[in-house]
Amino acid sequence: MRKTFITIAALSAALAFTSCGGQKTETAQEQNFNNPFIRHLYTADPSAHVWADGRLYVYPSRDMTPDNCDGMDNYHVFSTDDMLHWTDHGRILRAADVPWQKEALNNNAKFMWAPDCAYKNGKYYFYFPHPDKNSWNDNWKIGIAVSDKPASDFKVLPEPLKGLPEKGEIDPCVFIDEDGQAYFYYGGGGHSYGAKLKDNMTELDGELQEMQGLQDFHEATWVHKRNGIYYLSYSDNHDEGNDTEGVKGDNRMRYATSNSPLGPWEYKGIYMEPTDSYTNHGSIVEYKGQWYAFYHNSELSTINGEWNDWQRSICVDKLFYNEDGTIQLVQQTK
C-alpha cells in the first residue's frame, strides 16, 4: 500500500493533508510535520537518488526494535516530487528474502543495515549488507536485489556481490560517473574501500583499494560529483558522551575531495555536527537546482521523555557550497 505524507519546507501557510485509512484531515501546521520527514516508521541511513521520472527517492534502513540493531529487518522506499509530499511505496525487501544467509536467519539475526541503490542498463540495483553466518561481524556480504522499477518488485540475486574479500564490510555505496562507469564503495571500523564495478553491476572490476587521505573515518561512505569535483562524505568517530552520562550525539559528518572517483582524497572538514543520535549516516544529492543533505536523528524517540538511539528517523536540510567548492556547515532544522 502506498501512503503519502506531508512535511513543511519553510512554509508559513497551513497545508491540508489526509492520511490513508479515512482519518480526519488536519493542517500541516497542526501536525508540525517537518524534520524528521518520515514519522510513521523509524528509519535511518538515508540514501537519496533522483531518477529519470523526475522524482527523488530515498532508500533507508529501518529500526524495528528499541534495544539493538540486529533486529533491523526490511526496507521501505520513499519518494517525492516537491520535497513536501512524501510517498511510502511500502516494503521492498526483508531478511527472509535473502537466499544465501539462512544460517544467520536461523538465529533470528536480521541485520538489514544501510543500503544504496543505482540505475544502469534499464535496471535498478539495490545493494544491502548482510552476514551469511552466525558470527556476523566477520561475515558481511553485500547482497543485490534487481528490479525494473525504482520502488517495487525487487528480486534478490542468488549470490552476493562478487569480488569482495571473505571478511567484508558494511555501508555499500554505488556511484555512476558521467561516462557510465560505476564504482562501488563500502567500509567500517576506520577503513573505506572502493573499486570499479563491471558493467553487469554484480562484480568488482579489479581489486578493492583503500581510500587515502580521509581523516577519522568511521563508516557511511557516500560519493557525489559537482562541477567536475568528486566528494567523499562519511561519519567520523566523534564521541560527546555515553549512555550513563545521559549525553546524546556522536558522529559528525566529514568530507574530502578528489579529481578521481577513487582518490587520493584531500580532507576538507566537517559539514554536519552531531544530531541527538549516537550515529549518523548521510547522503548528498541535487534536486531541482538545490543541493540537500539527508541524515538521521532520534528526535521522535524523545517525544515521551524516554530516549532510545535504536529508534531513529530520517531528516533532510539544504546544503550549500562556497565559491571554492567547499561545503558550508549544514544547519539542522526542525
3-state secondary structure of 291: strand
In which band, very low, low, confident or very high, does the pLDDT at 110 lie, cut at 50, 70 and 90? Answer: confident
Residues 80-93: tens digit of each pLDDT:
999 999 999 999 99
For the residues 42-69, what does the mean pLDDT come to?
A: 92
Q: What are phi and psi of 306, to 5 degrees?
A: -115, 125
Helix (H, G, I), strand (E, B) or coil at 42: coil
Please name the residues in contact with 75: beta carbons below 8 A apart, sequence gap of 6 or more. Answer: 59, 60, 61, 62, 91, 92, 93, 94, 112, 115, 126, 128
Q: What are phi and psi of 298, to 5 degrees?
A: -115, 30
State yes or no: pLDDT of 191 exceeds 50.
Answer: yes
Which has more confidence, 108 or 177? 177
Quick check: 174 pLDDT over 70? yes
The pLDDT assigned to 64 comes to 85
Which residue matches cell numbers 571478511? 167
The answer to whether 250 is a known catalytic residue is: no
Is residue 208's pLDDT more than 90? yes
Q: Is the dihedral of CA 27, 30, 35, 40 positive or negative?
A: negative
Neighbouring-strand partners of residue 255: 233, 269
- The model's pTM is 0.89
Bigger pLDDT: 256 or 302? 256
Amino acid at residue number 168: G
Catalytic residue among 70, 88, 116, 219: 219
What domains lie within the chain, and their CATH numbers? Answer: 1-34 (no CATH), 35-319 (2.115.10.20)
**Would the pLDDT of 147 be above 50?**
yes
Write the pLDDT tens digit of every residue in 252-282.
999 999 999 999 999 999 999 999 898 999 9
Q: Is position 45 annotated as part of the catalytic site?
A: yes
Model pLDDT, residue 152: 98
Task: Please tell me which of 15-19, 129-133, 154-158 the model is most confident about, judged by mean pLDDT.
Answer: 154-158
As a whole number of angstroms, the distance between CA 182 and CA 262 comes to 11
Task: Name the pLDDT band for 26 (thresholds 50, 70, 90).
Answer: very low
Give the pLDDT score at 16.
32
